[in-house]
Chain A
Amino acid sequence: MFTRPDNWKKMSPLERRTARLDAWQNAPVPFVSPKAEAKYKERIARVRKIYDMEPHDRPVADLFMGANEYIVRRKGFQGKDTIYNHEGLRGAVLDFHREFEPDVSVGPMPYPGKPWDLLGFQTYIWGGQKLPDNLAIQAVEGEYMTADEYKDFAADPTAFWLKQYLPRAYSALAPMTMLPDFPRISESVDTIDLLVPFGLPPFQEMLHKMMEAGNELMKILGAVGQTGAMVAAEGYPGMGFNIVKTPFDYLGDTLRGTRGILMDMYRHPKDLLAATEAYVPVLIKSIIGASDRTGAPCAMYVLHKGADGFMSKEQFEKFYWPTWKQVMMALYEEGITSYLFIEGSYNTRMEYLAEMPDKSLVCHFDKSDMKQAKDILGSKYIIAGNVPASLMAAGTTDEVRAYCANLMDLFGDAPGYIMAHGCYFENSTDEKMRAFMDSVKK
C-alpha cells in the first residue's frame, strides 16, 4: 500500500518516483535474523541504486523472467503444480534461495487453478486441465470482441470488460450481461434497475460461484503470500512491479486476437484507434490504483504486438506508440517507473522509447541488439536482459558464462544494468544458473 505524502501535489515526477521507491525500499519485513535483515537491505539498496542510476558496486542478476519455473522443476515439480499446488512449491522456492542466494527473489507465477476451474476460464488452457501435467499455461487466441463491437468498447471500456468480455472469457460469468448500464443509475427508482439482476436465480448462482472461487483464491494467495513473506524474511527483496500491457496489446492479446487486430489496422483503422484512445484514461486510472494498492514502484509491461516484424514503423507510430506513450507519461507524472519486458526484437523501436523522460523506463530486452540498446537508451534508462532462453535450455555452462561476460563488458560500467533472461524457460541446469548469477560478481 502506498500512501501519498501531504505535499504530493507540489512534488515533481522524479520526487514522486523517489517517494514511491522509498516506500518500497523501506516497507517493513519481519526478518528471521539480523543477518537476513542486513543482506536484504544490502540487496534492495543495490537494486535501488540501479533504479536511480546512481553509482553502485555491481549490476544485479534477476532470475524472475527466466527461471521462475525452473526453480521448482529442478525439485521434480511440473507445470501443473504451479497451478494447483502452491503450498507444495514452498519448500522448493525456499531451497533455491538458501542454496543459490540470488540478488533478488524468484518464484513461479501464482496461477489460480481452482478459481479458473470454478469459473470456467476460457482464454487459457493449462497443465492438469487440457494440457499435460508437465506443462503450465498457454493462451487460447480468440475473438472475444467482434470488430463491430469496437464502438461499444470505445463508448465505455469498463462496461465492455464487465458485461461482454467476462461472460465470454468465463462461462460461469455469463449472467454479467444482465447488469444495467451504470450511467443510468441516478433517480430514486433506478435502484430497481440496479438490483433486479441480484434478485434473479442465474445471477445469484453466479454470485455464489464467484464467492466460492474467491474463497479458493484466498487460500492460494495465502499460500503464495506466505512463501513470498518467508523468502523476504530470509533476506531476498523483489523487483517491485505489477504486470500491465499497452492499450493495443490489451485489445490485441485479449479481445481481438493477433490476426484480428493486425487485420483491423487495414479493415477498421478508425474504430481501432478510437478504442485504444478511449482506453487510455481507464488504463491510467487502473494502473495507478494497482500501484497504490501494492506499493510496487514499477508497472511491468509485457510487450507483444509492437515488436519488430509485427507491424511497420508507420503502423507503430499510428496505432501502437501514441496511446502507450500517453499511459507511460501519465505514470511518470505519478512517479511510477514503466518496466518494459520487451519480448522478441525491438531494434526498430528504440528511437521511440528514447522520447520518454530520463529514468522513466527500465528496458528489459529479449532478442534485441544490446549494443544498439546501450548506445540509444543506456544513458537515459535502466537496461536489462538479454540472456537467451535457448542458451539457458540448450547451451553449455561455458557458453552461458561467455554470453554473460560479453554483456558485462558492454554494460558493466552502465549507470543502470540488470543481468536478466530474455524469456522464461522450463529446463536448464544448476551450473548454468550459477554461471548466470556469478557473472555480475567481481
Chain B
Amino acid sequence: MSKELIDAITEMREDDAVDITRKLLDAGTDPVQVLDACREAMGIIGKRFETGESFMPELMLAGEILGQISAIVKPRIQQAGESKKLGKVVLGTVQGDIHDIAKDIVGFMLDINGFEVTDLGVDASPDKFVEAVKQTGAKIVGLSGFLTLAFDPMKFTVQALKDAGLTDVKVMIGGGQIDEQIREYTGADAYGKDAMAAVAIAKSWA
C-alpha cells in the first residue's frame, strides 16, 4: 500500500495519492509510515530532477500533493514527536526582489530533506536576515534573487551577517542571473544552480 502511495506521488496522480492516504490511515497504518512514504517519493522526484527527468511542474505539484497529505496526516501524529532535523536554514528573497517561486521550491526541498526552514518571504532586508539568524541560531542562510538587482542586496546581506559577528554562518545564493561570478562578488560561501544543488550544499554544511 505504501508503494501505491509512492507511485501515485511520483506519477503525479494527485487525487489517487490523497485517496490512498485516507485508505492507509483508515486501515490503521501508522501515520509516520505514511510520511516516510512521502519522503521516499520526494527523494525519487528529487533524483529525477537532478538527472533531468523531472522539472519544475513535478516539484511544484509534488509539493502541493504533500501539502494535502500532511494536512490529513499531521493531526494524527501530534504525539509522535518531530523527527530529528539536520539543521536550521534561514531562507529568503533579498531586498528589492519580490520573486518567490524558486525560493519556495528550495524551501520545500530543504524541508523534506530534513532541514528546519525559516522562510523570510520576499524583499527581505539584511537586518531581517541577521535578526532571524540570531533568533533561530541557524548556521545556514539561503539568499534567493531572480533579477540582476539582487546582486548588491545579496552582497549587503552577506556583509551584514559578518558585521553582526555571525561569522560561523554559511551563506548560499541562487536565482535566475546568479552564478559563480556573483558568488565571488557577494562573498557568499556557495552558489547553487537549482533546488537540489541547494539541498546538497546544505547537507555538506550540516
Contact = CB atoms under 8 A, between A and B. Distances in A.
B149 interface: yes
Interface in A95-139: 125, 131-132, 134-135, 138
B87 interface: no
A390 B96 contact: no
B98 interface: yes
A279 B94 CA distance: 37
Interface of A: 125, 131-132, 134-135, 138, 140-141, 258-259, 262-263, 265-267, 309-312, 315, 343-344, 348, 388-391, 393-395, 423-427
Contacts of B147: 138
Contacts of B100: 141
A395 B12 CA distance: 42
Contacts of B34: none
Contact of B181 (A258, A267, A391): A391
A262 B64 contact: no
A394 B152 CA distance: 10
B122 to A, nearest CB: 10
Interface string B169-198: 000000011110110110000000010000
A393 B179 CA distance: 12
Contacts of A423: 148, 176-177
B56 interface: yes
B16 interface: no
A434 B88 CA distance: 45
Given A138-B97, A141-B101, A266 B14 contact: yes
Contacts of A388: 177, 179, 181
B176 A309 contact: no
A73 to B, nearest CB: 11
B96 A266 contact: no
A312 B53 CA distance: 7
Given A135-B96, A390-B179, A394-B185, A266 B148 contact: no
B60 interface: yes
A125 B182 contact: no
B55 A394 contact: no
Contacts of B60: 259, 262-263
24 contacts: A134-B96, A138-B98, A138-B147, A140-B98, A259-B60, A262-B61, A263-B57, A263-B64, A265-B57, A267-B14, A310-B55, A310-B57, A311-B55, A311-B56, A388-B177, A388-B181, A390-B182, A393-B151, A394-B151, A394-B182, A394-B184, A395-B181, A423-B176, A425-B148
Lowest 4 A-B CB distances belong to which pairs?
A394-B185, A262-B57, A390-B181, A425-B148
Nearest to A265: B57
Contacts of A125: 98
A257 to B, nearest CB: 9
A31 to B, nearest CB: 35
Contacts of A391: 181
B133 to A, nearest CB: 24
B61 A427 contact: no
B151 A131 contact: no
A311 B57 contact: yes
B179 A426 contact: no
Contacts of A267: 14
Contact of A310 (B56, B97, B185): B56
Interface in B55-102: 55-57, 60-61, 64, 96-101
B11 to A, nearest CB: 10
A394 B181 contact: yes
Given A389-B177, A395-B181, A426 B149 contact: yes
B44 to A, nearest CB: 16
Interface of B: 12, 14, 52-57, 60-61, 64, 96-101, 147-149, 151-152, 176-179, 181-182, 184-185, 194
A140 B98 CA distance: 8
A132 B101 CA distance: 22
A432 B96 CA distance: 25
Contact of B176 (A311, A344, A394): A344
B149 A309 contact: no
A395 to B, nearest CB: 6
A390 B55 contact: no
A140 B22 CA distance: 37
Nearest to B179: A390
Contacts of A427: 151-152
A135 B14 CA distance: 40
Given A259-B101, A393-B151, A427-B151, 13 more contacts: A134-B96, A135-B96, A135-B149, A258-B101, A262-B57, A263-B61, A312-B53, A312-B55, A315-B55, A390-B182, A390-B185, A423-B176, A426-B149
A217 B27 CA distance: 66
A393 B56 CA distance: 28
A309 B52 CA distance: 8
Given A267-B14, A311-B56, A390 B101 contact: no
A159 B151 CA distance: 41
A135 B94 CA distance: 14
A68 to B, nearest CB: 12
B109 to A, nearest CB: 14
Contact of A309 (B12, B14, B55): B55
B165 to A, nearest CB: 26
Contacts of A310: 55-57
A138 B100 CA distance: 12
Given A135-B149, A263-B57, A266-B57, A390 B176 contact: no
